[in-house]
């Protein structure tokens, strides 16, 4: 289908849209893969953070991302842009209730900026499920209670916390490095 450039610019969410577009069918909802290395997103609101976490998950060998209800839509345009193609190499499960995590057979690791074992000293299980919480509120208490390990990242600069996408990249890299070592 050929569309006039002006029309394409009017429907694009980008400041400088490319002169092309595409339509794809969203994949059918998938069940949770119990034994997959997983990232669980708990009510993350920023689409850029969600897309960045998808990129890190794919880069560091995590096969599955589960988005709990209240998390930005994994297939939204902004998440797709930030994910830079990671969507197509991941098993994505979205819009699930907390109870759906009962299907996971891997240990869960909670992240916190205030408590837990230091990440660089922790014995990380592999595979595992990393639990990444809301940008301001962190993990819900109910999700945090599912964790068998809680970790925090050393921040000698004294910041109160890290951006959730940066924290996820550090944690997922630590898992990848631990499983290689």
pLDDT one digit per residue (tens) for the chain, 181 residues: 777 878 777 777 767 777 777 777 777 888 999 999 999 999 999 999 999 999 999 999 999 999 999 999 999 989 999 999 899 999 999 999 999 999 999 999 999 878 899 999 999 999 999 999 998 888 999 999 999 999 999 988 877 778 999 999 999 999 999 988 6
**Amino acid 181: pLDDT:** 66
Architecture of domain 30-180: 3-Layer(aba) Sandwich (3.40)
Ramachandran region, residue 72 (left: φ > 0; alpha: ψ -120 to 50; beta: rest) = beta
Supply the DSSP symbol for 24: -
- Phi and psi dihedrals of 83, rounded to 5? -75, -20
- The Cα 114–Cα 153 span in angstroms is 9
Q: In this structure, are residues 45 and 134 in contact, taking their beta carbons and an 8 Å threshold?
A: yes
**Amino acid 1: pLDDT:** 75
- The Cα 13–Cα 77 span in angstroms is 8
Tokens of 70: 């209240």
Q: Work out the widest C-alpha separation in the chain, in whole angstroms.
A: 57
Which sequence spans correspond to the domains of the chain?
A: 30-180
- The Cα 99–Cα 156 span in angstroms is 37
**Amino acid 160: pLDDT:** 74
Tokens of 129: 């499920």
């Amino acid at each position: 289908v050929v569309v006039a450039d002006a029309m394409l610019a009017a429907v694009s969410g980008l400041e400088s849209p490319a002169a092309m577009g595409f339509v794809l069918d969203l994949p059918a909802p998938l069940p949770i893969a119990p034994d997959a290395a997983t990232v669980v997103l708990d009510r993350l609101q920023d689409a850029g953070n969600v897309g960045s976490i998808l990129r890190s998950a794919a880069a560091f060998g995590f096969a599955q991302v589960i988005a709990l209800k209240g998390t930005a839509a994994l297939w939204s345009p902004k998440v797709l842009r930030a994910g830079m193609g990671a969507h197509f190499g991941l098993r994505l499960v979205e819009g699930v209730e907390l109870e759906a995590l009962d299907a996971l057979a891997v240990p869960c690791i909670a992240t916190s900026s205030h408590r837990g074992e230091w990440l660089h000293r922790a014995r990380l299980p592999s595979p595992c499920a990393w639990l990444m919480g809301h940008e301001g509120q962190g993990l819900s208490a109910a999700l945090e209670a599912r964790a068998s390990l809680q970790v925090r990242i050393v921040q000698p600069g004294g910041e109160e916390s890290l951006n959730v996408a940066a924290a996820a990249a550090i944690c997922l890299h630590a898992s990848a490095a631990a499983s290689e070592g």
